[in-house]
Amino acid sequence: MTDWYYDFIMAITIKDIAKRVGVAPSTVSRALNGRGRMSSLTREKIRQVAQELGYYPNMLAKGLTTRKTGSVGVVIDRRHIPVERSFYSAIIEAIESTATPHGYHVIFATLKNHSSLKMVKERKVDGVVLIGTDISDELASPLLEEIPVVLVDNHLQGVDSVAVDNVGGAYRAVEYLIELGHRKIGFITETMRDLSFRERFTGYQEALKKHGIKLDEQLIAEGGRQRGSGSIAIEELFDGKILPTAIFVANDYTAVEVIWAIKAAGLKVPEDISVVGFDDNDIARIVEPLLTTVHVPRKRMGEEAFRRLLALIGDSTLPPTKIVFPTELVIRDSSGYKARSTS
Amino acid sequence: MTDWYYDFIMAITIKDIAKRVGVAPSTVSRALNGRGRMSSLTREKIRQVAQELGYYPNMLAKGLTTRKTGSVGVVIDRRHIPVERSFYSAIIEAIESTATPHGYHVIFATLKNHSSLKMVKERKVDGVVLIGTDISDELASPLLEEIPVVLVDNHLQGVDSVAVDNVGGAYRAVEYLIELGHRKIGFITETMRDLSFRERFTGYQEALKKHGIKLDEQLIAEGGRQRGSGSIAIEELFDGKILPTAIFVANDYTAVEVIWAIKAAGLKVPEDISVVGFDDNDIARIVEPLLTTVHVPRKRMGEEAFRRLLALIGDSTLPPTKIVFPTELVIRDSSGYKARSTS
DNA sequence: CTGAAAGCGCTTACAG
DNA sequence: CTGAAAGCGCTTACAG
């Protein structure tokens, strides 16, 4: 009776197992962690009882002595919410689903409120992955001193990162447009302040150059970080002397707005203007026409980010590595041959 | 020199502060936690030194003695990923952003692998919110014995929950369709196995009844839990004797598929058939035409879920409460008056 | 092969 | 008002 009561209130500890098996708690610890040689008989007995009792280690106690928590932090910049929601969600899901089989939990935080530094300082995590493009050096540094860090979709000198081949992806997208016969190819981005977007711009430039097309400032527009960025940028382009026959947009969300704006202006996509995005966000398959875009392997990036973090947790002296994933152009309905009639 | 070295390797503890101020560690603890009376002079001195040293409590140690971790778990059914990604992401974000100012961290997990039970048993969280519609009694029960639980978008006897007025929302949506002149109003759902969807069906029935419209089995279709569910359901409806002039769809994602299927059949939305969804998911503003739908206040639900959980963590004897949020019909472009010409 | 002891960093009665 | 001690549940040298 009292036994039952006790069990209900308190969780099972190694002491309980020790008593039941008739050994010392330290022996239970060794058996369960597989440390040190010991008779496989007592080991088996202990494991069996632990199982029977439904024992789980108290990670607070375990962590206090081992300095490992079995958790990792995943931090995302608030700015990416909710606009790029599905993009970053996919990465986070991938991290979670690869962390779980390794016995790790994932603490999810947003960049405001220093809550990421807090979780590190409070010793709640063994490492952290920082997702997104706004992670500054000042933010990363204090973390780096304490704990392994992996950057996703960003890069800082001397810090591990998993990124995507933005230059190559953009290059391929623009080259594809050129292959379709386009020569007046616009470039639209929310902002040039993001590393990823600048890299995509570089790819755009390189593709033009490679094919002997001169860069035209009038075909480049920055819509700003806000809703409606795409339509602001389109207005800017349309105000110029020359109309593009195709536009490469630095991310899908803005590309969708660009499509809307083009349609609102009474033009057709892709008949009048082809549009190609970047990311292969969920919305790319919802807009009309379905968006041609550059696929970013978010799942693989998330998986790799966790794996890399795990390696660093195991050995923090590993030299910083930058892992770059290739992209893939996904051709859908928003792009087509340049119309003959147009200039 | 050695001092610096020491500081760098080890984190600051109350012992360090105690030494510096010249008091006992227990005094530091009391000062920092504001427990017990003490001279406000030493208290201030201690707090100041803690601040200077950049002290953060080791939550593992703190949690070991207080049995509080300062973390809560948020668990989502794997099935909701990625289809309903943005829907549940918004709730999770809301939970995170209301948890942070309270000093709490959020552990995010998915329902597979028992990783949710694991985090509870390992004492990593003080409470958990279970999001989504697939949380069974068997899953919730073992958690309930250990820790406070709040359900979101679901309900179980005797468990705290925050939900949405599915019946009322569906009622309003269908009544709106009736006001537009529609009489042959279809109902499409992925499945009737979800509580939410059944409730929405109830609202549909009640609205018809209230306005003296007979329920017609031929106008009801279940597309199944899969991609393309909406188009499967549409085929079923179109195979029937009578064509609906409006369709109420139990969730937005399926509603989008329904719109696609209608357009693929050569009909127009809303001219030929009006479509109304439920959720006000991000995609509702991306489809064409923009989807009329029932807004679910995900942000407020997430906030309230955390607040409720916090209350239960403070006092686990609070009687179970079911909080139901009202919905709001958001009229966009996928719905319109019933065309005169049609039968 | 296994036990007793110390320690991880905190809090909390208990003295004084 | 404040200090010394015990304890939270685990691990890890250290003995034996």
Residue of B nearest to A76 (CA): B93
Does residue B31 belong to any structural domain of this protein?
yes
- Say which residues have a Cβ less than 8 Å from residue B290's Cβ, sequence separation at least 6: B284, B332, B333, B334
Gap from A287 CA to chain B (nearest CA, Å): 6
Does residue B50 belong to any structural domain of this protein?
yes
pLDDT at B6 (0 to 100): 37
Helix (H) or strand (E) holding A293: strand A292-295
- The letter for the amino acid at A105 is H
pLDDT-derived band at B9 (thresholds 50, 70, 90) equals low
Residues of B in contact with A122 (CB under 8 A): 56-59, 70
DSSP for B302-329, please give it.
Answer: HHHHHHHHHHHHH-TTSPP-EEEE--EE
A282/B108 CB distance under 8 A: no
Q: Quick one: which residue's CA is nearest to D3's C1'? A: B24
Pairing mode, if any, of strands B328-330 and B293-295?
antiparallel
Nearest to A115 among B59, B100, B287 (CB): B100
pLDDT (mean) for A286-298: 96
For residue A161, the cross-strand partners are A151, A322
Nucleotide nearest B64 (Cα, C1')? D8
Mean pLDDT of chain A: 90
Strand order in the sheet with A128-131: A322-325, A160-164, A149-152, A128-131, A71-76, A105-110, B105-110, B71-76, B128-131, B149-152, B160-164, B322-325
Compute CA distances A146 → A122, A140, A231, B10, B11, whole Å. Answer: 11, 10, 44, 10, 9
Give the residue ranges with Cβ < 7 A from strand C: A 22-27, 30, 36-39, 42-43, 61, 64-65; B 10-11, 13-15, 25-26, 29-30, 32-33, 35, 57-58, 61-62, 64-66
Contact B12, B54 (CB under 8 A): yes
Based on the number of CB atoms within 10 Å of its own CB, is B329 exposed (0-12), middle (13-18) or buried (19 or more)? Answer: middle
Query: Which has more confidence, A8 or B211?
Result: B211
Residues of B in contact with A121 (CB under 8 A): 11, 54, 56
Q: What are the phi and psi torsion angles at A39 (to 5°)?
A: -60, 130
Strand D positions closer than 7 A to protein CB? 1-5, 7-13
pLDDT at A11 (0 to 100): 86
Do A83 and A47 sit in the same domain of this protein? no
| Sign of the alpha-carbon dihedral angle for B122, B125, B127, B133 | negative
Give the residue among A137, A142, A135, A105 at the shortest CA–CA distance from A121. A142
Taken as a whole, chain A contains a residue count of 343
pLDDT at B1 (0 to 100): 31
Q: What are the phi and psi torsion angles at A108 (to 5°)?
A: -100, 125
Give the residue among B256, B259, B257, B254 at the shortest CA–CA distance from B271. B259
- Distance (Å, whole) CA A196 – CA A192: 9
Do A95 and A195 sit in the same domain of this protein? no
Compute CA distances A272 → A248, A264, A301, B82, B134, whole Å. Answer: 14, 13, 36, 34, 47
B113/A100 CB distance under 8 A: yes
Does residue B62 belong to any structural domain of this protein?
no
pLDDT at A343 (0 to 100): 46
Per residue in B23-57, pLDDT tens? Answer: 999 999 999 998 877 888 888 999 999 999 999 99
Cα B27 → chain centroid: 42
Percent of chain B's residues with pLDDT above 70: 95
Per residue in A197-216, pLDDT tens? Answer: 999 999 999 999 999 999 99
- With H, G, I as helix, E, B as strand and everything else as coil, classify residue B99: helix
Residues of A in contact with B257 (CB under 8 A): none
- Say which residues have a Cβ less than 8 Å from residue B59's Cβ, sequence separation at least 6: A60, A122, A123, A124, B69, B70
| Residue A134 in this model has a pLDDT that exceeds 80 | no
pLDDT at A9 (0 to 100): 54
- Could you tell me the distance in Å between the CA of residue B50 and the C1' of nucleotide D2? 18
Contact B159, B151 (CB under 8 A): yes
A256/B286 CB distance under 8 A: yes
Give the pair of three-digit tokens for residue B121.
């048993």
Residues of B in contact with A70 (CB under 8 A): 122, 124
Q: Quick one: which residue's CA is nearest to C1's C1'? A: A38
Do A147 and A189 sit in the same domain of this protein? no
For residue A276, the cross-strand partners are A248, A292
pLDDT-derived band at B86 (thresholds 50, 70, 90) equals confident
pLDDT at A113 (0 to 100): 62
Give whichever of A167-171, B4-8, B143-147, B281-285 has the largest mean pLDDT.
A167-171
The domain of A99 spans 71-163+298-325
- Distance (Å, whole) CA A107 – CA A96: 9
Nucleotide nearest B66 (Cα, C1')? C11
Do B275 and B307 sit in the same domain of this protein? no
pLDDT at A340 (0 to 100): 62
Residue of A nearest to B60 (CA): A60
Based on the number of CB atoms within 10 Å of its own CB, is B213 exposed (0-12), middle (13-18) or buried (19 or more)? Answer: middle
- With H, G, I as helix, E, B as strand and everything else as coil, classify residue A86: helix
Per residue in B257-307, pLDDT tens? Answer: 999 999 999 999 999 999 999 999 989 999 999 999 999 999 999 999 999
pLDDT (mean) for A135-145: 83
Do A214 and A145 sit in the same domain of this protein? no
pLDDT at B111 (0 to 100): 83
Does residue B343 belong to any structural domain of this protein?
no
| Residue B80 in this model has a pLDDT that exceeds 80 | no
pLDDT-derived band at A3 (thresholds 50, 70, 90) equals very low
- Could you tell me the distance in Å between the CA of residue B26 and the C1' of nucleotide C15? 14
Q: Which residue has the tokens 């494991």?
A: A47
| Residue B5 in this model has a pLDDT that exceeds 50 | no
- With H, G, I as helix, E, B as strand and everything else as coil, classify residue B2: helix
Q: How many interface pairs between A and B have CB atoms less than 8 angstroms apart? A: 146
Does residue A141 belong to any structural domain of this protein?
yes
- Could you tell me the distance in Å between the CA of residue B65 and the C1' of nucleotide C12? 9
Residues of B in contact with A110 (CB under 8 A): 93, 96-97, 100
For residue A330, the cross-strand partners are A293
Residues of B in contact with A14 (CB under 8 A): none
A112/B100 CB distance under 8 A: yes
Contact A262, A275 (CB under 8 A): yes
Nucleotide nearest B30 (Cα, C1')? C11
pLDDT-derived band at A182 (thresholds 50, 70, 90) equals very high
Does residue B63 belong to any structural domain of this protein?
no
Residue of A7, A9, A59 to mutate when probing chain B, most B C-beta within 10 A: A59
B109/A106 CB distance under 8 A: yes
Question: Is the overall model pTM greater than 0.75, yes or no?
Answer: yes
* Domains contained in chain A, number: 3
DSSP, res A249: E
pLDDT at A341 (0 to 100): 56
Strand C positions closer than 7 A to protein CB? 1-5, 7-13
Q: Quick one: which residue's CA is nearest to C6's C1'? A: A65
| Residue B8 in this model has a pLDDT that exceeds 80 | no
Nucleotide nearest A41 (Cα, C1')? C1
Q: Which residue has the tokens 């200039």?
A: A343
Exposure letters A270-308 (e unless 16+ CB within 10 A, then b): bebbbbbbbbbbbbbbbbbbebbbbbbbbbbbbbbbbbb
A64/B59 CB distance under 8 A: no
- Could you tell me the distance in Å between the CA of residue B63 and the C1' of nucleotide D1? 27
Angle at B83 between CA B327 and CA A77, to 5 degrees: 85
Give the pair of three-digit tokens for residue B173.
């949506």
| Residue A294 in this model has a pLDDT that exceeds 80 | yes
Residues of A in contact with B118 (CB under 8 A): 56, 105
User: For the domain that residue A204 is a member of, what is the CATH number?
Assistant: 3.40.50.2300
pLDDT at B113 (0 to 100): 62
Do A281 and A191 sit in the same domain of this protein? yes
- Distance (Å, whole) CA A316 – CA B107: 24
- Could you tell me the distance in Å between the CA of residue A25 and the C1' of nucleotide C3? 9
- Could you tell me the distance in Å between the CA of residue B103 and the C1' of nucleotide C6? 33
Do A152 and A173 sit in the same domain of this protein? no
| Sign of the alpha-carbon dihedral angle for B31, B33, B36, B37 | positive
Does residue B341 belong to any structural domain of this protein?
no
Gap from B226 CA to chain A (nearest CA, Å): 16
- Could you tell me the distance in Å between the CA of residue A59 and the C1' of nucleotide C9? 14
B64/A69 CB distance under 8 A: no
pLDDT at B343 (0 to 100): 47
Do B197 and B248 sit in the same domain of this protein? yes
Do B221 and B269 sit in the same domain of this protein? yes
Compute CA distances A222 → A187, A196, A197, A293, B341, whole Å. Answer: 9, 14, 11, 19, 48
Residue ranges of E strands in A178-267: 185-189, 220-222, 246-249
- With H, G, I as helix, E, B as strand and everything else as coil, classify residue A259: helix
Does residue B170 belong to any structural domain of this protein?
yes
Give the residue among A205, A194, A217, A197 at the shortest CA–CA distance from A171. A205
DSSP for A45-84, please give it.
Answer: HHHHHHHHHT----HHHHHHHHS--SEEEEEE-GGGTTTT
User: For the domain that residue A34 is a member of, what is the CATH number?
Assistant: 1.10.260.40
Per residue in B121-171, pLDDT tens? Answer: 999 999 999 998 777 788 888 888 889 999 999 888 899 999 999 999 999
A282/B283 CB distance under 8 A: yes
B82/A60 CB distance under 8 A: no
Do B133 and B154 sit in the same domain of this protein? yes
DSSP for B178-209, please give it.
Answer: HHTT--SEEEEES-SSSHHHHHHHHHHHHHHH
| Residue B194 in this model has a pLDDT that exceeds 50 | yes
- Distance (Å, whole) CA B145 – CA B162: 20
Angle at A224 between CA A222 and CA A230, to 5 degrees: 70
pLDDT-derived band at B110 (thresholds 50, 70, 90) equals confident
Do B176 and B264 sit in the same domain of this protein? yes
Do A157 and A240 sit in the same domain of this protein? no
